[in-house]
Structure 1
Amino acid sequence: MNSHLDILLDMLSALPDPVFVLTESGRYAALIGGQDRQHYHDGAHLVDFSLYDVLPKAKADWFLEQINITLALNQLRIVEYGLAGADVDGLDSQQGPAGEIWFEGRIQPLATPVNNERAVVWVACNITRRHQLEAQLQLLSETDELTGAYNRRRLLDSLKLSLAQFREQQTPTALVLMDVDHFKSINDRFGHIAGDEVLRGIAHHAMAHLREGDLFARFGGEEFALLLPNTTLDTATAIAERLRQTIAFGNFLPDSHPPLIVTASMGLSLMQMHDHAIETILRRVDDALYQAKHSGRNCLVVAA
């Protein structure tokens, strides 16, 4: 008949999630559970190794920081992090989930030292599916359903962040507002379905030429915005002009006779040190857009 200790060991080994004992120096002292190879790799070989033996330095630094914070606070902490099997030296990547796995780590200080060191229990729970769903919901909440561009909410949030970064670092940042010229007449002549196709086509053209870090959003109706971080006035002007010309030469309704020519008016401004709120920037860019509309349309006006 099994003893209570044998039963306890069997129970611990059967835990679905891996439970690590990690010391304050970053050494794996023990590993229990985590036998489900659909959700976890076999980390048994990690015991007696250091975080720095098996992980890239940046990741090892992060794990050690979480251990030390938990020990300093002396309380349960919960963290989320991504880690792929390929990040850990010695793991058999064929015997476990592929790609990056997202974990919820529950870190609890141990009352008793381990190998003469303070230590924590770190329970790692696979939350990859939940993380993916949250990312999808986040994207849906920030995306314009018609065009696939970001929506007004995401633009305003990014604009606030960009303004804060600009005021701290003074890196040039530009904002462009764009309005499709005579859009009502497109809807009147060709119908709202065709009008929607034009808006989708403009967004597709714009997003196909974005640089890393640029943000293109539907601001409302037939109005779009382009946020250009780390961009000088000359570069921002060139990007906006190129987009304006791309739209003017685009073929958004190939079956229309005569061919539909679509143009856009644009206003542009750099952020200024006296800008304390995004409303100031938006007002200045909107004024420049207004000037473009009343200067013959299909042109770009840079705010003074």
Structure 2
Amino acid sequence: MADLSLFSNEQIAALLAALPDPAFILTRSGRYAAIFGGTDSRYYHDGSSLVGKSVHDVLHPEKAAWFQAQIAIALASRGLHVVEYPLAADDVKGVGGAGPMETIWFEGRVQPLEYQVMDEDAVLWVASNITASKKLEALLRMQSETDALTGLANRRKLICSLTEHFELFARYKTPVSVLIFDIDHFKSINDQYGHLAGDKAISVTAEVCRRELRAADTPARLGGDEFVVLMPHTGSEQALPISERLRQHIADALQALGTLGDGATISGGLSEMVSGDLSYEDVLKRADDALYRAKRDGRNRIIRHEPVS
């Protein structure tokens, strides 16, 4: 602990004013009692005009209520309370389109004070701009969940999504269908035209998935030329026409590639989660079995594994 007797009041005030991150004294009711620092002009503007105002004067009701709740949590805990939170132009009254174009992320370190301020319990709230690290975090997450060739979800993301939807199905019986498909005679495309041509066929297939599927659906590349489409809130009977439409549009897009895509089609297997499934792997296994039936039956078709009633 520093010996403050070594510093004059003027020096302590100067030290507080020089803090790179802003430090707010906020009362229990959300009133700004004082503001120190915030000298890093890359991230912060002069906030001195806030002193004497309440978070309810500055922020829209939902955001103001959140700030006041965090103050209450810190005061109740009697210890440091750390939170991460976004602030957008729409959160601040009177800013609108004049505010920053993008959401800004902060880490708040909220420490209760041992004395009252303005006759109220109060906290020291130090706000640090963490937008850059949030962007990096989002980029790394996207890269870890995205197939590099197609931009679709990769196996890791697919398994996470399947797990989440299986848990919802197990609890609420919310219908979920799964389609597995691959490109017919894909090995011949690679052998005859090379792997770059095979990559082109895969990329075109992925683009059709993005364009034709519903916003709630999750198309993923499982590996090689094998794809999976997760269709939430959809039984296999309703998913079948969606799958058939996808089959036709992919065939059209592949054949539009010219010689490379001559006669190119897909085959798929469709199933849905049913009572008695122990994990998402059960529905994948049924869909995969249906895919192989589609191959045996002549390809260029979707086989639906009908649930046992």
- What is the letter of the counterpart of residue 115 of structure 1? M
Instruction: Give the % identical residues.
Output: 48
Name stretches of at least 5 consecutive residues in structure 1 with no aligned partner. none
- CA RMSD, Structure 1 to Structure 2 (Å): 2.2
| Other-structure match for 1:144 | 147
Work out the CA distance in 2 between the residues paired with 1:92 and 1:13. Answer: 29
Work out the CA distance in 2 between the residues paired with 1:9 and 1:252. Answer: 73
After TM superposition, the structure 1 = structure 2 runs for residues 180-191 of structure 1, keeping only pairs within 5 Å, are 180-191=183-194
CA 1:63–1:174 in structure 2 vs 1: closer, same or farther (change >3 Å)?
farther
Count of equivalent residues? 300
The TM-score, its normalising length taken from structure 2, stands at 0.89
Pair 1:207 & 2:210 matched: yes
CA deviation vs aligned residue, 1:59-100 (integer Å, no higher than 9, x gap): 223222322222222221222121124421245976x85421
CA 1:214–1:26 in structure 2 vs 1: closer, same or farther (change >3 Å)?
farther
| Other-structure match for 1:35 | 39
CA 1:233–1:117 in structure 2 vs 1: closer, same or farther (change >3 Å)?
farther
Pair 1:100 & 2:103 matched: yes
The TM-score, its normalising length taken from structure 1, stands at 0.90
Pair 1:198 & 2:201 matched: yes
Q: Is the 8 A contact 1:249 1:261 kept in 2?
A: no
| Other-structure match for 1:10 | 14
| Other-structure match for 1:52 | 56
Give the C-alpha shift of residue 233 in structure 1: 3.4
| Other-structure match for 1:119 | 122
SS of aligned partner of 1:250: helix
Pair 1:160 & 2:166 matched: no
Work out the CA distance in 2 between the residues paired with 1:49 and 1:252. Answer: 66
Runs of 4+ more than 4 Å apart: 90-94
Give the C-alpha shift of residue 193 in structure 1: 0.9
SS of aligned partner of 1:200: helix
CA deviation vs aligned residue, 1:132-164 (integer Å, no higher than 9, x gap): 111111111111111111110010011111111
- What is the letter of the counterpart of residue 9 of structure 1? A
Work out the CA distance in 1 between the residues paired with 2:104 and 2:201. Answer: 40
- What is the letter of the counterpart of residue 243 of structure 1? L
| Other-structure match for 1:175 | 178
| Other-structure match for 1:256 | 259
